[in-house]
Chain A
């Protein structure tokens, strides 16, 4: 289980990067991830709209990483960082699972029973609509998803 740490920056509210590290992420960690993101957004000083959007986004991204990036039974590390952006907040999620670009989220498999369908489609659609920027890069075997949500 990871713990939230305040890495870098000063003592002023808002400044600095908040980080949450999961060495072997599982679905059971999602609740803690959500709590971390909510607290981080609160400390950074953005409103509840931004907080709610990033909490949901973190949940969706991490669920996908656990279920599809690493696969059930072979957990791996996930690191989440939250910091203040110009007029909102920026969240970066890094993992070392298989390459997964949200833009390539597979179309829903209409014949499979619901419990077995790829987690991609619906979750990503919601995330895309809730955040203002969504970027994916892969650098040296690490997936980096960056999300920015600006205050309304």
Chain B
């Protein structure tokens, strides 16, 4: 599993590629945690390269989501593949976080001003 960080003006895009399972999830939660501790709490997880996730991936998303929101930010998803979206839907995750068809839309969804 590969993780690429792309710092935009007001949002951090974390692009993930590969499969997220019990083995690879730790690396992802660490990467997300690192961003948030650095003050980057407006996160877009670009999932176009994620072909599979197990509940381990869901745990990472939820932990990151809660931490980001606690810090005044948010985690939003972009370009989730159908198979992964099915798992997100089944476990109720689509009801609690925003998913966008592409990274551009997800990035644009964050207000550009600082409140």
Residues on A close to B: CB < 8 A? 27-28, 30-31, 34, 52, 55-56, 59-60, 63, 66-67, 114-115, 117, 119, 122-123, 125-126, 129-130
Contacts and interface: CB of A to CB of B under 8 A. Distances in A.
A114 B21 contact: no
Nearest to A48: B83
Interface stretch (B42-50, B51-59, B72-80): B51-59
Contact of B21 (A27, A122, A125): A27
A147 to B, nearest CB: 15
B23 interface: yes
A67 B91 contact: no
B21 A129 contact: no
Residue of A55, A59, A66, A67 ringed by the most chain B CB atoms within 10 A: A59
Which secondary structure characterizes the binding site on chain A?
Answer: helix
Contacts of B91: 122, 125-126
Contacts of A28: 23
A123 to B, nearest CB: 4
B21 A59 contact: yes
A117 B86 CA distance: 24
Contact of B52 (A34, A66, A125, A129): A34
Given A52-B83, A126-B91, A130-B90, A63 B59 contact: no
Interface of B: 19, 21-23, 26, 29, 52, 54-56, 58-59, 62-63, 83, 86-87, 90-91
A123 B54 contact: yes
B54 A56 contact: yes
Nearest to B63: A114
Given A114-B29, A119-B22, 17 more contacts: A27-B22, A28-B23, A31-B23, A34-B19, A55-B52, A56-B54, A59-B22, A60-B55, A63-B22, A63-B54, A63-B56, A114-B63, A115-B26, A122-B55, A122-B91, A123-B54, A126-B55
Contact of B59 (A31, A67, A122, A125): A122
Contacts of A115: 26, 29, 63
A30 B19 CA distance: 10
Contacts of A31: 19, 21, 23
A26 to B, nearest CB: 8
Contact of A129 (B59, B62, B83, B90): B90
Nearest to B29: A115
13 contacts: A52-B86, A55-B52, A59-B22, A60-B55, A63-B56, A114-B59, A114-B62, A115-B29, A122-B59, A123-B56, A126-B55, A126-B91, A129-B90
